[in-house]
Amino acid sequence: MNQKTKKILIVSCILLFIFVIKILSFPNDYEIEKDNHKNDLDAYLKLSSNILKGNEEDRQYQYPPLYSILLIPALFTDTTAFVLILNIMFSVFTFLPLWLISKRFTKGFFQYLIPFVIILFDMVFTYKSYGYPMALSAFLLAWFIYFFMDIHLNRKYVLYSGMIFGLMIATKYVFFYMVPFLSLWILFGGKDRIKKILLFFLPSVVAFGLWSLRNIIFHNDAIGGYRTLFSGQFLQIYPDTIPSKITSIITCVEPNIIFNCLVLFLVSIVILTKYKERFYLYCNNDIKFHWLFFMNYLIFFFLPGMTYNRFYLNWRYLSYFNPVILVLIFCIVVTMMEEYMIAKTKGKN
């Protein structure tokens, strides 16, 4: 059996194992969510049923359409079951891009273990994502990062990552906050920077433009409820709620997890930068990408994490990044562990 066949077999077995574990938790998740509608699911389902009729309220058509399109079958079956199964499928197949990122920086057993553990335990892939496009967003983002980090090495990756980013915009407009990070990385190296930027952003501009045009035709309004970002409190920044949002980092589980990941990511990048000669699978471009990606994570922490008239950190908008962030953190930790064990073995000899 050659190495490629062996890897395909291992990955297939892992995917099957994750699916079985998720299915075993399905009955419990179903009971938890059966009568729980404290989320955006109703708005997405209304958009699903009216996707071609144009009689939505602005609360509905403010959302981009991809998730609502995927939810159309839920209108004709057990909604709770369909949404949970959809989340399971996205969770299972998010293993693939996470594994591809992991195996770039680690070898052997750990390249499989790291994404496996993240898929099983990260809150994006649990019932907490029910009713929101969290699992879908995490799935798209993981594939996006896999291609985007190497756009300077392969021109096709500019197009691939651009198309996936278009799907991300068609899922959540919040991904527009990634533009500073995306632009800086594209401009960072290589030739034809302007051409790359135009090629990269074309799919997302088309996705946003077509949906906006549809909304203008039906509603004389492109972005629905999101217009309050500009017509109301600017960017929905409410200074009086910021202290409670900061407090929620200590008092609430989800904001605490997000903040800890942010801190751990920073610490891991500092270690990577300081001891870069020990990270034999990393190069200077990888380190720069990590720093830019951290900057992106930090932007999301403040905008939109600390915005909107809510009294807790808007952790959902950062949760999409957590699976990839955790892979990058664990890859650095594993590399340091391997270096330590090698040094220890040499010391004994």
Per-residue H/E/C for 72-92: HHHHHCCHHHHHHHHHHHHHH
- Summarize the confidence of residues 207-231 as an average pLDDT: 85
pLDDT value at residue 122: 93
38 versus 201: the higher-pLDDT residue is 201
First to last CA, the chain: 35
Asked whether the beta carbons of 130 and 39 are under 8 A apart, the reply is yes
- Distance CA(295)–CA(332), nearest Å, equals 18
Is the model's pLDDT at 157 over the cut of 80? yes
For 297-336, what is each residue's pLDDT tens digit? 999 999 999 988 888 999 999 999 999 999 999 999 998 8
When the pLDDT of each residue in the chain is averaged and rounded to a whole number, the result is 90
Asked whether the beta carbons of 143 and 123 are under 8 A apart, the reply is no
pLDDT value at residue 111: 94
Is the model's pLDDT at 172 over the cut of 90? yes
Taking the CA atoms of 242, 248, 249 and 251 in sequence, report the sign of the dihedral they define. positive
Is the model's pLDDT at 348 over the cut of 70? no
241 versus 325: the higher-pLDDT residue is 325
By mean pLDDT, which of 39-43, 50-54, 144-148 is the weakest? Answer: 50-54
- Distance CA(111)–CA(269), nearest Å, equals 19
Under the banding of pLDDT at 50, 70 and 90, the label for residue 39 is confident
Taking the CA atoms of 154, 160, 165 and 166 in sequence, report the sign of the dihedral they define. positive
pTM above threshold 0.75: yes
- Distance CA(225)–CA(308), nearest Å, equals 13
34 versus 82: the higher-pLDDT residue is 82
Is the model's pLDDT at 126 over the cut of 90? no
- Summarize the confidence of residues 113-139 as an average pLDDT: 92
Is the model's pLDDT at 1 over the cut of 60? yes
220 Ramachandran zone, left/alpha/beta (phi>0; psi -120 to 50): left
pLDDT value at residue 278: 84
Under the banding of pLDDT at 50, 70 and 90, the label for residue 161 is very high
**CA 299 to chain centroid:** 14
Other beta carbons less than 10 A from residue 158's beta carbon: 23
Is the model's pLDDT at 40 over the cut of 70? yes
Other beta carbons less than 10 A from residue 239's beta carbon: 8
pLDDT value at residue 248: 95
**What element of type H or E holds 231?**
helix 228-231
Residue (of 269, 319, 324, 272) closest to 291 by Cα position? 269
pLDDT value at residue 221: 85
